[in-house]
Amino acid sequence: MAEILQNIKPTRMELLRLKKRAKLADKGHKLLKEKRDALISEFMVVIKEYKDARMRVEENLGIAFHNLLMAEVLLGSRDLEQISGVTLRDIGLEFTTKNIMGVSLPIMKIQDVVRKINERGYGFLGTTAKLDDAAKNFEESLLLIVRLAEVEESVRRIALEAEKTKRRVNALEYIVIPRLNATIKHIEMRMEEIERESFLRLKKIKASLEARKQGI
């Protein structure tokens, strides 16, 4: 049996107050269960997006490093390092958020980083198509990595909120609501007991008064 709340007086006003609290707790429990279920459903969708995004990043980076290795074989490490120095640039990244069921999820927007061959800063003479392929693959990978980071953070935040909501549901279901109901029942039983005691006391007083009246 659940514990009852302490320092609660067995009065009608207290009983009405506890019944109101129990009703609100039941309503809150229902809403939180719906939120928990919705978060879990959203989590399953986002975790699939995460797996797909991670797979695409790994595949694209695998191709990029393969092409880079081939370019290094054809050009040599020194020439490749010199070429990489002329391709440096700043890349803009914007951060905003969206709200899903009370959870703030990140939105990461990156400028289009995939350049044309003639926009990378190195000449065509003395280079190789494998270098062009590697550059394009790494630029595409950067877009995919940003998307992966966005989805991964969304997975983390949704999981944390789902766990927090689950704990609140369990607290209401197994602690708060049972204690409120047990306390309500305890007060009702105590009030019935007080009523019986009052009835018996009044009955004794009435009998005593009648006995005195007959004695006169």
Indicate yes or no: pTM above 0.85.
no
Q: Write the DSSP string, 14-73.
A: HHHHHHHHHHHHHHHHHHHHHHHHHHHHHHHHHHHHHHHHHHHHHHHHHHHHHHHHHHHH
Stretch 151-166: mean pLDDT:
96
**pLDDT for the residue 68:** 92
Q: What is the pLDDT of residue 216?
A: 54
Least confident of 31-40, 156-165, 187-196: 187-196
| Residue 101 pLDDT | 86
Per-residue pLDDT, averaged over 182-190, amounts to 91
Instruction: State the Cα–Cα distance between residues 149 and 157, nearest whole angstrom.
Output: 12
Contact 18, 184 (CB under 8 A): yes
Q: What domains are defined for the chain?
A: 12-215 (1.10.287.3240)
Distances (CA, A) of 104 to 100, 154, 155: 7, 8, 11
Per-residue pLDDT for 152 more than 80? yes
